[in-house]
Amino acid sequence: MPLADCAEQSEQLETRVITTLKEVVDLERDLDVVSGGQIYAVVATGGAVRVLLDPERFPDEASQSALAETIQPLVEALPGVERVVVKPRPRLAAPRNRLPGIQRILGVHSGKGGVGKSTVAVNLALALAARGLRVGLLDADVYGPSAPTLLGLSGRLETTKDGTKMRPMETQGIRVVSLGLLLPAGQALIWRGSLVDEGLGQLFNDVDWGKLDLLLIDLPPGTSDVHLAVARHAPLSGVITVTAPGQVSVDDVRRGMEMFADLAVPCLGLVENMAGVVCRRCSVESPLFGKGGAAELAKQTGLPLLARLPFYPSLAAASDSGHPPLVDAPDSVQAAQFHGLASRLAIGLELEPGVSA
Ligand code: ADP
């Protein structure tokens, strides 16, 4: 299903669920539970609906459970609903700030490392910039930042003239911030506990991003404190999920999707990477890391499969030496694949150059 249709369908379902929940009245306050704030968010991913309750709006756990039991069958009975989870939202320490000047923020996520998430994030950023969009790339894969390698960047980020903020590094029309451009080469990052949240906060708030149509965030693989910190500091419009076709990668992706749903961040679509290898002589594709996992996941979740990229030996070599195909081989089949992905996202998210506030 095209991204635009899928997003529209999910939005319509969310509206129907909210309308239904507005009929549920909290008799003590004489107010419906949506207006009363007990419903924190409704997130639909295909036919799967998550209703997140705001624990701070309940006097005790018993009343929260009672509401969950009331609304579960009501939502289950709605047409188009296949699965319902009603649960309290995770406690995020403070409300998310809107980042001024940034129109949309989109995460790129994967269940496992090594599936090509950063390669997709970097080339997608370049392909969106080629459409005239003002694009930033925040490499938040803090324990393995690879954007500088993939983009052939070195050196350190500079500060603004007044010394109060960091300036992203500009390359090929995108603005890049990565811990790899903040730490001395080869130095590992040791962020634990509250430092994760503090450090991520600085990457968002202490950077002079300027005006952006889109900030892409290359998230770490899996589920971690970094994801929670990103969700707390940045109002994510959604995430796209990169997976290899094998079952193990797909299973991990599901866990990530559940985590984002709990954070009220919708998953907008899937990218299957390293989907197979194409014989240069006979053009026949052979599976490499399993087969069909992303297509199956797309079917089950109703999410669009935004792109399916084979394993290109030349892409591995070019990326690892800092020559992304979008820049160094603009007419290649790989570049065309990333342009296709960028175009589906730009249309689906209604991204237009120069609309940021
Ligand atoms: P992740 O961010 O998921 O850890 P990377 O983007 O760093 O993964 O990619 C891991 C390795 O795989 C890199 O060497 C990269 O160049 C290579 N790679 C990624 N996608 C492809 C592809 N479609 N074809 C060939 N090599 C790829």
At residue 335, the pLDDT reads 93
- Tokens 């409704």: give the residue: 42
Each domain of the chain, given as residue ranges in start order, spans: 3-88, 102-348
- Smallest Cα–Cα separation from 315: which of 305, 306, 326? 326
Q: Which two tokens stand for residue 22?
A: 């507005």
Task: Return the residue whose CA atom lies nearest to atom 17 of ligand 1.
Answer: 316
What spatial distance separates the first Cα and last Cα of the chain, rounded to whole Å? 31
At residue 216, the pLDDT reads 97
Alpha carbons within 13 A on the beta-carbon side of 266: 26
- Please tell me the distance between residue 72's alpha carbon and the centre of ligand 1 in angstroms: 42
Would you say 139 and 249 are in contact if contact means Cβ atoms under 8 Å apart?
Answer: no
Burial code (b: 16+ CB inside 10 Å, e: under 16) for 257-271 equals bbbbbbbbbbbbbbb
AA letter at 253: V
Question: Which atom of ligand 1 is nearest to 309's Cα?
Answer: 23
Question: Which atom of ligand 1 is nearest to 313's Cα?
Answer: 25
Q: Decide whether 3-88 matches 102-348 in CATH topology.
A: no
Give CA torsion, residues 54, 58, 60, 64, to 10 deg.
-60
Ligand 1 pocket, mutate which of 110, 150, 319 (most atoms under 8 A from CB): 319
At residue 357, the pLDDT reads 45
What pLDDT digit, counting tens, does each position of 283-330 carry? 777 777 667 788 888 877 778 888 889 898 888 899 889 999 998 999
Q: How far apart are CA 17 and CA 49, in angstroms?
A: 9
What pLDDT digit, counting tens, does each position of 255-275 carry? 888 888 888 888 888 999 988
Question: Which atom of ligand 1 is nearest to 121's Cα?
Answer: 6
At residue 218, the pLDDT reads 97
Rounded to a whole number, what is the largest CA-CA distance in the chain? 73
Length of the chain (residues): 357
Q: Which CATH superfamily is domain 3-88 in?
A: Fe-S cluster assembly (FSCA) (3.30.300.130)
- Please tell me the distance between residue 15's alpha carbon and the centre of ligand 1 in angstroms: 38
**Does the beta carbon of 115 lie inside 6 Å of ligand 1?**
yes
**Does the beta carbon of 311 lie inside 6 Å of ligand 1?**
yes
At residue 2, the pLDDT reads 52
Would you say 261 and 294 are in contact if contact means Cβ atoms under 8 Å apart?
Answer: no
At residue 90, the pLDDT reads 64
Ranges of residues in the chain with a pLDDT under 50 are 93-95, 356-357
Class at the top of the CATH hierarchy for domain 102-348: alpha beta
